[in-house]
Amino acid sequence: MTTVRNDWQREEVTAIYNLPLLDLVYKAATIHREFQKADEVKVNTLISVKTGACPEDCAYCAQSSRYNTGIKPSILERDEILRLANEAKKNGASRVCLSASWKHVKDDSTLEKIISTGREIKEMGLNICCTLGSVNKDQVERLREAGFTAFNHNLDTSEEHYHNIITTRTYQDRLDTLNTLIDGGMSYCSGGILGIGESDEDRISMLHTLATMRKHPFSLPLNTLLPIKGTPLENMKNVEVFEMVRMIATARILMPETIICLAAGRTAMTEEGQAMCFMAGSNSIFLGEKLLTAPNPEVNEDMNLLKKLGLKSV
Ligand code: SF4
């Protein structure tokens, strides 16, 4: 019987990460079957309530106002958000994540709009979560009371590599926000991106940080970079699918109860590659034409793949 641990030593994480790939996948798939329903994949949709004009300088992101990426800043109104949520529900999504490209959540009418629209989405029978930048205790309380069940706040990479990717905030700022969420009784969702110039050590370090938080993430999204023209990382090379499989499998072994989401970058993967990610312990995907600003496989392709693999969308 596997126990859920928060006291992983860095050397243990390194040893797991470096297992021969098929042994690693076998071990992860076994733990996956112990803790998760292995025939289910959670299907989410991301709705970008505020896109672009972000003051942060994340080197991979099309939405930063510092890079010329051709993204037109936009804000969605309530009706449009509800229309998209309804469409997502019809397409099989069970969870909607509302995102806004902010540094901090401000206590203004936009937050009020997100909260009230979130309530309406919940009334449609969907789970609701959000990603809004950093957040304080009172705002966590307000979001929780409105029925938001999780808040996304990615670590992106290791503490050591962080300053090469983002200079407008620190790793400690991110950890502080995660702790605010834990203290406020809000589940958090936090993961990272592969292909942003990080080493294996950086990947191990990020997983070690998450696996030793006093509470593991409710969900851990793993993304691969889709290089975006105009950003500092526009010329980065694609990540091999086996690197993603290794990362998913290691995360599954370290955090058996966490949902592991195969997030941005899925478009660049073959069906066989995605199947191997599910085998390694990933049990969540994003639906829809767009994942923030990166293209996402068409909804039908997603559903057909799940069907072929005998997986249920939940
Ligand atoms: S990743 Fe988020 S915080 Fe960073 S620039 Fe993009 S929208 Fe802003």
pLDDT digits (tens, 9 = 90+) for 201-252: 999 999 999 999 999 999 999 999 989 999 999 999 989 999 999 999 999 9
* 64 CA closest ligand 1 atom index: 5
User: What per-residue confidence (pLDDT) applies to 102?
Assistant: 85
Res. 20: pLDDT tops 70: yes
The average confidence (pLDDT) of the chain is 92
User: What per-residue confidence (pLDDT) applies to 42?
Assistant: 94
Gyration radius from the chain CA atoms: 18
User: What per-residue confidence (pLDDT) applies to 294?
Assistant: 53
Which DSSP string do the residues of 259-294 spell out, in sequence order? EEEE-TTGGGS-HHHHHHHHHTT--EEEESSEETTE
12 vs 128, 151, 208, 268, CA distance in Å? 35, 29, 9, 31
CA angle, 250 as apex, 249 and 252 as ends, to 5°? 65
pLDDT digits (tens, 9 = 90+) for 160-183: 999 999 999 999 999 999 999 999
Decide: 21 and 247 in contact? Cβ < 8 Å. Answer: no
Q: Best substitution site from 64, 170, 228 to test ligand 1's pocket, by max atoms within 8 Å of Cβ?
A: 64
User: What per-residue confidence (pLDDT) applies to 87?
Assistant: 86
pLDDT digits (tens, 9 = 90+) for 116-154: 999 999 999 999 999 999 999 999 999 999 999 999 999
User: What per-residue confidence (pLDDT) applies to 312?
Assistant: 94
CA 99–ligand 1 middle distance (angstroms): 10
Decide: 101 and 63 in contact? Cβ < 8 Å. Answer: yes
Please report which confidence band the pLDDT of residue 267 belongs to, taking 50, 70 and 90 as the band edges: confident
CA angle, 92 as apex, 88 and 93 as ends, to 5°? 55
Q: Give the residues across from 54 on adjacent strands.
A: 64
**d(Cα 221, Cα 205) in Å, to the nearest integer?**
16
pLDDT digits (tens, 9 = 90+) for 24-79: 999 999 999 999 999 999 999 999 998 888 888 999 999 899 998 988 888 888 99
Residue with CA at minimum distance from ligand 1 atom 7:
101
Q: pTM of whole model > 0.85? A: yes
228 vs 69, 74, 162, 247, 305, CA distance in Å? 7, 19, 19, 23, 27
Residue with CA at minimum distance from ligand 1 atom 4:
58
Please report which confidence band the pLDDT of residue 159 belongs to, taking 50, 70 and 90 as the band edges: very high
Phi-psi region of 202 (alpha: psi -120 to 50; beta: other; left: phi over 0): alpha
User: What per-residue confidence (pLDDT) applies to 247?
Assistant: 98
User: What per-residue confidence (pLDDT) applies to 107?
Assistant: 77
DSSP assignment letter at 132: -
Question: What is the arithmetic mean of pLDDT over 83-105?
Answer: 88
CA 5–ligand 1 middle distance (angstroms): 31
As for ligand 1, residues whose beta carbon falls within 6 Å of it are: 54, 56, 58, 61, 63-64, 101
User: What per-residue confidence (pLDDT) applies to 71?
Assistant: 86
Q: Best substitution site from 61, 69, 102, 152 to test ligand 1's pocket, by max atoms within 8 Å of Cβ?
A: 61
Res. 188: pLDDT tops 70: yes
* 133 CA closest ligand 1 atom index: 3
**Other Cβ atoms within 10 Å of 15 Cβ, number:** 11
Res. 112: pLDDT tops 80: yes
Please report which confidence band the pLDDT of residue 296 belongs to, taking 50, 70 and 90 as the band edges: low
Contacts 24+ apart (CB under 8 A), 295-304: 295/226, 295/267, 296/264, 296/266, 296/267, 297/266, 297/267, 299/91, 299/92, 302/43, 303/91, 303/92
**Other Cβ atoms within 10 Å of 23 Cβ, number:** 10
Res. 91: pLDDT tops 90: no
User: What per-residue confidence (pLDDT) applies to 297?
Assistant: 61
Structural domains of the chain, with CATH: 10-303 (3.20.20.70)
Res. 293: pLDDT tops 60: no
DSSP assignment letter at 136: -
CA 111–ligand 1 middle distance (angstroms): 17
Q: Best substitution site from 54, 68, 156, 226 to test ligand 1's pocket, by max atoms within 8 Å of Cβ?
A: 54
* 166 CA closest ligand 1 atom index: 4
Which residue in 44, 2, 13, 20 sits closest to 256, CA to CA? Answer: 2
